[in-house]
Amino acid sequence: MSQLFKNGQTFELAAEREALFERFASGVLAFAAISGYEYESAEEVCAEHTHIFRAFVESDEGRELLSQIHAGGALDFFTLYVNDASPFDIKDEWLEYESPFSFADLREDIDNHGLHSLHFRMNLADEEGRKWGVTTISRQLHDYFGDTCPNDLAFPLHSLSSLIKEDYDHELKLAIDAVRDIEGDDTGHKFTKSELNALLNLFARVDFEPEQANALDTGMAKFMSGRGQYEMEIAANTLPRHLLADQVEQGLLAMVYNYGYRLKATVPISNFELKEEVEPVIDHLLEQFKSTPEFTVALKRQVMINLFSAFPRGLEMFGAKPEELQGVILDPVLKTHPDAQYFLKTLMGPLALFRADKSAVEESKASSVIDYLTAAGYPITVEMASRGLLFDRPEFSALIHHEGGESAVLDAYLAEDRSADKMPRHVIKALMRPEYLRSYSDRAALNILRTGLNLRAAEINQDRLPKLHLKGLFAQRPGLIEPVLDHLWKNDLLTPKVFQELGFDHKELRLLGNRAPDSLAEHVLGGELGL
């Protein structure tokens, strides 16, 4: 790594990542050498001869290497960079170049998905390295965005709980001042500094003084009432049930998942000790919802599974199954209890809770969670998710891309006759690739094509999507051609661009006969004649 950053690195990278970074650095240094400059690190080239660095990253080799560096939303490169004692601003172009995310997007993802989402994406070689990386990114992003508290002004607990440091006085003051600037002096329904501090350190190891205990009580009461977050004034004990559950889930993110991770990252604590530490927090939050005892116990177990997904040895304490880490509900109480409808976010498990969002491309939003849990002995698969009928989940697309889309259960489901509005749309969009379609039966492939073409037609006609390149698929499976043509005709999709997108030509035009619009015939025949 000595060729990448001037000051080296702190934690060990995975071997394949280290080799990738070395190739990137060597390429930058080689470009500099061609211009007569000798440097020891790529960082120095970027600092002193930006045009040389830019020339490399715009080359075919540079683009390919950067694409691999950012693949899956990996954050190891970013972490090593912001940790390096360099004079550069963290907005520097060499990080954002070809990156699928901006730093503001990353900060927003941390606020919404917590510290666990960083842990899964860290890509460093061991758990200690990941915790160091999460701490590094957390502090750097808060230092950079600390005076804005983006998207969390009404209730800054999420932003503050995702910051790992020993003292929060500066950030607490900024949060309180930000609210005061917006709403004037009438901030009685907002959180005081003492209340925020009490909530951030909920049930910490030290005993609360009476004043702190009072701040905890008043802060929790404000939090559970949702005051300051909703336009209407609501008494603490009359918050509608769905909003009350939402408050509980927000509390779980800040006071359980983020709090638990901060403890793991900052103090020596065993998995059992962490369980004991957060248990009263979970109990206190779930008590606010006032459900039945059996549902509360079952939901609490899922919360623990979510928390310990980042520390998978701890999952053994709860007998966690791989299905429960990706949202397949196994517990009979959670399957049938009416209150389960209010806690879908919690029951979706770590795959949904801690995925990336704005700071990763669509195909990679959950891939790092999949890789991490699978490596820990908890395989996350399309087949398993298909059995759980999780087709409507956004992260299902990530599973499709992660495994090349193959699933016997999904094939059987998609082969059934159903109306277009009953087909899982984002799954269909993900499967609209020749390499995926080849693994499906003719009936399933035809249903995918029918629904997919309905969804994609407008974008195809406006040249807003990459080409499908389906000519080879139809050459291998000619039995699909006539039913696809019939679908295009019945749904008024016989446009030149859709026809071309499918790789069709005069042979398919002849099959259409008098169903072919004149404009399509003129385009196809004119194109083949070079007119």
What is the residue-level pLDDT of the chain in tens, covering all 531 positions? 567 776 655 567 778 888 888 899 899 999 999 989 888 888 788 878 888 888 888 899 988 888 888 777 788 887 877 776 454 444 455 555 556 667 778 888 888 899 999 999 988 878 888 999 999 888 887 776 654 554 554 456 777 888 887 667 777 776 666 555 544 444 455 677 777 777 877 544 444 456 666 787 787 777 777 654 544 445 446 678 888 898 899 899 999 999 999 999 998 999 999 999 999 889 989 998 999 999 999 999 999 999 999 999 999 999 999 999 999 999 999 999 999 999 999 999 999 899 888 888 777 778 889 989 999 999 988 888 877 767 777 778 888 888 877 888 889 989 998 877 778 888 888 898 899 999 999 999 999 999 998 888 777 766 666 777 888 999 999 999 999 999 999 998 888 888 888 888 889 889 988 898 888 888 887 655 444
pLDDT at 397: 81
In whole angstroms, give the CA distance from residue 472 to residue 494.
Answer: 20
Cα angle at 148 between 144 and 149, to 5 degrees?
100
Q: How would you classify residue 316: left for phi > 0, otherwise alpha for psi between -120 and 50, otherwise beta?
A: alpha
Structure tokens given for 203: 């049930």
Query: What's the pLDDT score for residue 409?
Result: 85
**Helices and strands (DSSP H and E) totals, the chain:** 31, 0
- Non-local CB neighbours of 452 within 8 Å, separated by 6+ positions: 428, 429, 431, 432
> Which residues sit opposite 100 in a β-bridge?
none
List all residues 6 or more positions away from 90 whose beta carbon is below 8 Å from its beta carbon: 81, 82, 103, 140, 144
* Burial state string for 258-279 with b = 16 or more CB within 10 A and e = fewer than 16: bbbbbbbbeeebebeebbebbe
Angle at 355 between CA 354 and CA 361, to 5 degrees: 160
Report CA torsion sign: 455, 460, 465, 466. positive
Q: What is the pLDDT of residue 205?
A: 40
Cα separation of 182 and 199, whole Å?
23
Relative orientation angle of helices 50-57 and 60-69, to the nearest 10 degrees: 80
Report the phi/psi class of residue 151: left, alpha or beta, with left for phi > 0 and alpha for psi in -120 to 50. left
Please give the C-alpha separations between residue 449 and each of 455, 470, 474, 478, 493, in angstroms, as whole numbers: 10, 10, 11, 14, 12
Tell me what pLDDT residue 97 has: 55
Q: Report the distance separating Cα 259 and Cα 168, nearest Å.
A: 14
Contacts of 64 (CB under 8 A, 6+ apart): none
Cross-strand bridge partners of residue 124: 13
What's 308's DSSP letter? H
CB crowding 309-329: b at 16 or more within 10 Å, else e: bbbbebbeebebebbbbbbbb
The letter for the amino acid at 389 is L
